[in-house]
Structure 1
């Protein structure tokens, strides 16, 4: 039964193919990054766990999981871990505009922002607008409040710096 105090989200038409599998991989990557931060799970452990139990479109405890692009998942999680020392200051600078340091952001939102920034930096084969849209959707999967707008604002600021050419701006 729906919560009467919460507006219902309209049902969306399911996507198919590679884009959907990447979207599921992004969501799983955020969950894995969160688990690593909160539970202290190692990179190898989390990748093995997700590949065994969560990425293949299987059923777990009555819930059916869509299949994810395992390679995309591995790239995101391992890329964020490898580049986190460079990614976090970029996020911190973008959040400073709103006087909100990264350390005050909850672990799920940090994971979303880190994965989004990694993809902006490392995956130039994905258009900026697609990256922003995908991570806003990931934020909407976890939050009903302002967090999707925060994700949009932070990733947009960083995208203009890293990939301004896609907005018609001169490259730095």
Structure 2
């Protein structure tokens, strides 16, 4: 029993519980993140290193695996995202670019990496619903990106979802009031 719980029970009060798993700013609390969400966070950090420093995947991977909390991530998903995005960066950019209102070089590396993750998951992770992919990428952009970067990520990925997950998107739109 934690000190908080023992003092709460000694005082007759129930122990404090998290209301919703969100912080006061709306971000998810660390304890409420799924293993896959953590994998996306670590992949995002690795992709940032690749985009900004042009670091090699092996070096990025070695560094990332030593970060605090990595053991809580879905390692298989992390590997797929990091390696898959780097290996397919030209194809991912080819899909993203037509949805942009500016050049790729003008997009923040965080937004760029979030879009890579989203497009990669749309294409290669059919077990993850398209709305979950979209939401996860928006949350990454909110947590790590600039003030309104998440809106840009949302617009681009929302524009690509009907193309990359057509049957699923159509089904959801027909069945949503």
- SS of alignment partner, residue 70 of structure 2: coil
- SS of alignment partner, residue 147 of structure 2: coil
1:21-40 aligned at under 5 Å gives the runs 21-40=35-54
For 2:154, the equivalent position in structure 1 comes to 152
- SS of alignment partner, residue 91 of structure 2: helix
Match of 1:15 among 26, 29, 32: 32
- SS of alignment partner, residue 53 of structure 1: coil
Cα distance in 1 between the residues matched to 2:149 and 2:38:
19
| Residues 115-158 of structure 1, C-alpha deviations (whole Å, 9 max, x = no match) | 11111111111100000010011001023522111111111111
TM-score by length of 2: 0.76
- The number of residues matched between the two structures is 147
In the TM superposition, structure 1's runs of 4+ consecutive aligned residues that sit over 4 Å from their partners are 11-14
The Cα shift of 1:55 comes to 4.7
1:134-149 aligned at under 5 Å gives the runs 134-143=136-145, 145-149=147-151
- Would the alpha carbon gap of residues 29 and 166 (structure 1) be closer, same or farther in structure 2, given more than 3 Å must change? same
- Would the alpha carbon gap of residues 77 and 10 (structure 1) be closer, same or farther in structure 2, given more than 3 Å must change? closer
Cα distance in 2 between the residues matched to 1:10 and 1:34:
23
TM-score by length of 1: 0.78
- SS of alignment partner, residue 66 of structure 2: helix
Cα distance in 2 between the residues matched to 1:101 and 1:109:
13
For 2:123, the equivalent position in structure 1 comes to 121
1:1-172 aligned at under 5 Å gives the runs 9-10=25-26, 12=28, 14-15=31-32, 20-57=34-71, 67-95=72-100, 99-143=101-145, 145-168=147-170
> 2:111, 2:150 within 8 Å by CA — same for their partners in 1?
no
- Would the alpha carbon gap of residues 143 and 85 (structure 1) be closer, same or farther in structure 2, given more than 3 Å must change? closer
RMSD: 1.8
The Cα shift of 1:12 comes to 4.6
